[in-house]
Structure 1
Amino acid sequence: MSNINIETNVPEIEWSENGITLPEEDKILDGVIQDFQNAFENKLKFYNKEGEFLLSTPQGQLVTSISAIISDRNRLLAYYVNQVDPSYAMGRMQDGIGRIYFIERKPATYTEVVGLCRGGGANVVIPQGTPVKDKAGNVYAAKQDYTIGDVGTVEATFVCNKPGAIECPANSIDMYQRIAGWDSVENPKAGVVGRNVESQAQFEQRRRQSVAGNSVNSVDSIMADLLKLTDANGSPICQDAYVTENSLGEAIINGNVTLKPHSIFVCVAALDSFDNQQAIAKSIWRKKPPGCAMNGDVTVEISDDTKDDDGQPLYSTPPTYQMTYQYAVDVSIYFNIVMTRSQDQPKNAEALIKDAVYNAFIGEDGSIRPRIGSKILSSDFLRSVLALGNWARVTSIQIARGGNFDNKVSMGINEMPSLTKDHIKVTFNG
């Protein structure tokens, strides 16, 4: 059987240094029509005398369906071509790129809060799973067994029973189940807010930060390793981290922090527990340059647990080291949003605006989340409010950290910004 050279008038996909270029849909339709005319000796009619396309004819239906199939095929191909670019990859393809850097997408996490439990006697056990409840009705369970000591108190970590960004403001939890000898519980500090499954934008941002994770002796490698830490349940230990250094032979001031000569400064946003302290300290020890000074108000002793190729400890008596770092100070952020009233705005407009700003702040809508040491611009949240619809007419958005409202606020290198919806004020004028 001889080879038959089959040609088509449908334009092809173009490949160039700039990537893939798809033919326009009207050009594809013209090409399919010409192929039909060639097959049927130009006996088919596709247009009337006025030049209008005869879609209702059998041949009109066929060529438009075939053109749509070709266009969909082209778009699908272009989509997967772009998936090899980390800036555009998402879903399963982005997960594959992440594994090249030995990182996995962060699953949804649960809000955790430290409660100060008081009792009328010593040795009162608060069993694992014991529930407490916040003012919004969310239930939290004790992470493990806790025993009220001789001083009559114990700090217990409670985990929300629902994943996601659930706020737990300071002084908001109370007892939900009575235990003999346990009198009260309170949380002097706000809980560490959980998060939904890591979004495409958040995952890509972390991938960029983790590139230095396999290196040592640099501030980037320390931060990358800290951000990769997970606890026994696979949840991230550090919500954020900031690492800098002073290479000079004299002390310097960086914002509101004084750095010792020849030292590194490590600040983390994380729950303070023994397990977390050990994980954070060992991460710093693995990645920091030897012999440098450290800054901070938390010092943790760790042991060298390095093992040889057979899995045996290198030392019969492991050396110990003192690692110093600092927990980030939680700084409440406030918003003052002024809107122009619109006739078609929904009844729950205020709640929708608060949700939009809050979701942008915590990065749930794909925005870059404000971090330790960052500068936060009020204009960063304009897009999220405008995306609510044409009714969302913004007069101004201002931001503050407890003082006067302005167009921006700055975080120190030891400060982590936080936001609750109660701190978002929305006013409608007109």
Structure 2
Amino acid sequence: MSFSDDDNINARNISPVQLRNLPIVKDVDTNIPSLKWGGQSTSDHDKEWGNTGIILPEEQDILAGVIEDFQNAFNNQLKFFNNQNEFLLSTPQGQLATSMAAIISDRNRLLAYYVNQVDPSYATGRMQDGIGRIYFIERIKAKATTVTGICRGQKDVLISAGTKVQDGDGNLYEADQNYIIGEDGTVAVNFVCLQKGPINCPAHSLQMYQLIPGWDNVDNPTEGIIGNNVESQAQFEQRRRQSVALNSVNSVDSIMAALLNLKNGNGSSVCEDVYVIDNDSGGGVNKNGVFLKPHSLFVCVSAPDDDWSKQLIAQTIWKKKPPGCDMNGDQIVVIQDQSGLYSTPPKYTICYANAKRIPIRLKITLARPQFLPKNAVDQIKTAIIKAFTGNDGSKKPRIGSEILASSFYAPVQRLGSWISIITLFIGREIASFSLVQMNIDEMPTLNKDDVEVVFNG
């Protein structure tokens, strides 16, 4: 059925059945279906689909279409422009037309957004999580920095769960369980930062925060294992690309994917990073600073050095690696076949490498602005650390990666107009190069103390 001006009917009286039965006509030019009211098609500009995706109409074209619809509905009795052809926004019809055009435009943008969300390169948030689940991977949750503190004091003194210490920057950490000082007057306590994220805890920075009778002092001989924020869009997509071989076996990609998705008991990732390469030749070769035996596999991970993690890593490598190939690395772990196919399960020796943590140094020289913030140096160092650890959502440097000094320009420049970078150098012992190439058994690290900020003038 259709309605004309003579039907003396308004929208309030149209039943759902009548609305569903409204005739659909096709625009002669676009061949796009539209509703027909009283013999008149809507003038609303519809979307187009091209080889590059959805193409949305311009805002002014949408408004022109709404105005035309209004004029058709009111027999051209409405005035939208004055004699100077200026749009009469303050009129009731002007307000209605612009509001409706804005609604249509918002609908179009929302549609374009969700169209782009099916592309893994652009997907974010919940939609990206859904794409990840197709490959059986989950977004990495935020994790707190952990550090081992050596507590000294009298024998049998209890360091209870929740006992707090602090680092040099005032960040608080608490013991993850109860510990008792041993006969030698010490106990190694695992302290977890109260704030999740990439909190840096340098060696020898822990100090007591609360007093316990018989507990004398605390010290951390090594730096803490830096935590992380919730995995960003760019980081998750990078890992998804690396994880597409998760369900395969007998390839370096399948080993890397399985290790990157390896979880411990609390759901956190075991491996911060992974690098896998093989030597298929009959002779030994040097690849990116590491010697590989003939017909061998090299797996390097950045992961905890405890027995539990070693077993998880070794079991994962064994399940995915090709049979019969030799292996490289100083981490030697004996595992047992857990398939349940044998009454006396065979044992295997798995070798891999735990990445050496290599400190990186940066030096940035800037022109001194007329008005320099009091905490300018700290702002710059923090921006660089966030970019290096991926805390700003960027892809962080990895095992065997090439780190460009230029990749830290943008994070610093975003601090404000007072930033004028003259030079920015990077290096290992001395920051005097434009790039640093990590070996395939090296994991780069960066502390605030290793970032030098200089203002000229």
TM-score exceeds 0.5: yes
1:265 to 294, 298, 303: 298
3-state SS of paired residue (1:381): helix
CA shift, 1:342, in A, is 2.8
Letter in 1 for 2:320: K
Letter in 1 for 2:223: A
Q: 1:355 aligned to 2:355?
A: no
Q: 1:139 aligned to 2:172?
A: yes
Is the 2:145–2:200 Cα contact (8 Å) retained in structure 1?
yes
Aligned partners of 1:317, 1:118: CA distance in 2, in Å? 45
Is the 2:427–2:433 Cα contact (8 Å) retained in structure 1?
yes
Note the 1:134-213 alignment, pairs <5 A: 134-146=167-179, 154-176=187-209, 184-213=217-246
CA shift, 1:9, in A, is 1.3
Alignment partner, residue 113 of structure 1: 147
Aligned partners of 1:382, 1:61: CA distance in 2, in Å? 46
Is the 1:337–1:397 Cα contact (8 Å) retained in structure 2?
yes
Once the two structures are superposed, what CA deviation does each residue of 1:216-265 show, in whole Å capped at 9, x if it has no partner?
Answer: 11111111111111111111111111111111122111232211111111
Is the 2:145–2:227 Cα contact (8 Å) retained in structure 1?
yes
Is the 1:269–1:328 Cα contact (8 Å) retained in structure 2?
yes
Once the two structures are superposed, what CA deviation does each residue of 1:75-132 show, in whole Å capped at 9, x if it has no partner?
Answer: 00100111101111111111111110101111110101123445665x7765544433
1:370 to 394, 397, 421: 397
Q: 1:420 aligned to 2:453?
A: no
CA shift, 1:341, in A, is 2.6
Alignment partner, residue 96 of structure 1: 130
Report the CA distance shift for 1:18/1:418 in structure 2 as closer, same or farther (over 3 A). Answer: same
Aligned partners of 2:441, 2:456: CA distance in 1, in Å? 38
Q: 1:55 aligned to 2:82?
A: no
CA shift, 1:410, in A, is 1.1
Aligned partners of 1:131, 1:314: CA distance in 2, in Å? 48
Q: 1:215 aligned to 2:242?
A: no
Aligned partners of 1:337, 1:317: CA distance in 2, in Å? 61
Is the 1:10–1:28 Cα contact (8 Å) retained in structure 2?
yes
TM-score, normalised with respect to structure 2? 0.87
Alignment partner, residue 269 of structure 2: 236
Aligned partners of 1:147, 1:284: CA distance in 2, in Å? 36
Report the CA distance shift for 1:214/1:173 in structure 2 as closer, same or farther (over 3 A). Answer: same
367-376 or 261-270, which moves further after superposition? Answer: 261-270
Letter in 1 for 2:443: M
In structure 2, list runs of 5 or more residues that go unmatched: 3-21, 24-35
Note the 1:68-107 alignment, pairs <5 A: 68-107=102-141
Aligned partners of 2:327, 2:405: CA distance in 1, in Å? 34
Aligned partners of 1:59, 1:144: CA distance in 2, in Å? 69
Alignment partner, residue 297 of structure 1: 330
Report the CA distance shift for 1:165/1:346 in structure 2 as closer, same or farther (over 3 A). Answer: same
Percent identity, please.
Answer: 58
Alignment partner, residue 246 of structure 1: 279
CA shift, 1:161, in A, is 2.0
Aligned partners of 2:282, 2:245: CA distance in 1, in Å? 26
Letter in 1 for 2:346: P
3-state SS of paired residue (2:127): helix
Is the 1:192–1:270 Cα contact (8 Å) retained in structure 2?
no
Aligned partners of 1:356, 1:130: CA distance in 2, in Å? 32
Aligned partners of 1:316, 1:152: CA distance in 2, in Å? 46
Is the 2:361–2:431 Cα contact (8 Å) retained in structure 1?
no
Once the two structures are superposed, what CA deviation does each residue of 1:300-348 show, in whole Å capped at 9, x if it has no partner?
Answer: 1111122xxxxxx333322221111111111111111111233355443
Aligned length: 423
CA shift, 1:176, in A, is 4.1
185-194 or 95-104, which moves further after superposition? Answer: 185-194
Report the CA distance shift for 1:119/1:334 in structure 2 as closer, same or farther (over 3 A). Answer: same
Report the CA distance shift for 1:300/1:182 in structure 2 as closer, same or farther (over 3 A). Answer: farther
Note the 1:337-348 alignment, pairs <5 A: 337-343=364-370, 346-348=373-375
Is the 1:118–1:153 Cα contact (8 Å) retained in structure 2?
yes
Runs of 4+ in 1 over 6 A off after TM superposition: none
TM-score, normalised with respect to structure 1? 0.92
Q: 1:324 aligned to 2:351?
A: yes
3-state SS of paired residue (2:250): coil
3-state SS of paired residue (1:37): helix
Is the 1:129–1:143 Cα contact (8 Å) retained in structure 2?
yes
Report the CA distance shift for 1:44/1:346 in structure 2 as closer, same or farther (over 3 A). Answer: farther
3-state SS of paired residue (1:425): strand
Once the two structures are superposed, what CA deviation does each residue of 1:184-218 show, in whole Å capped at 9, x if it has no partner?
Answer: 44322211111111111111111111111111111
CA shift, 1:352, in A, is 2.2
Is the 2:142–2:227 Cα contact (8 Å) retained in structure 1?
yes
Aligned partners of 1:416, 1:205: CA distance in 2, in Å? 18
1:43 to 45, 58, 77: 77
CA shift, 1:69, in A, is 0.5
In structure 1, list runs of 5 or more residues that go unmatched: 307-312
Greater C-alpha Rg: 2
Aligned partners of 1:404, 1:137: CA distance in 2, in Å? 28
Q: 1:406 aligned to 2:433?
A: yes
Q: 1:383 aligned to 2:416?
A: no
Is the 1:345–1:392 Cα contact (8 Å) retained in structure 2?
no
Aligned partners of 2:396, 2:240: CA distance in 1, in Å? 15
1:279 to 312, 326, 329: 312
3-state SS of paired residue (1:214): coil
CA shift, 1:402, in A, is 1.3
Is the 1:95–1:104 Cα contact (8 Å) retained in structure 2?
yes
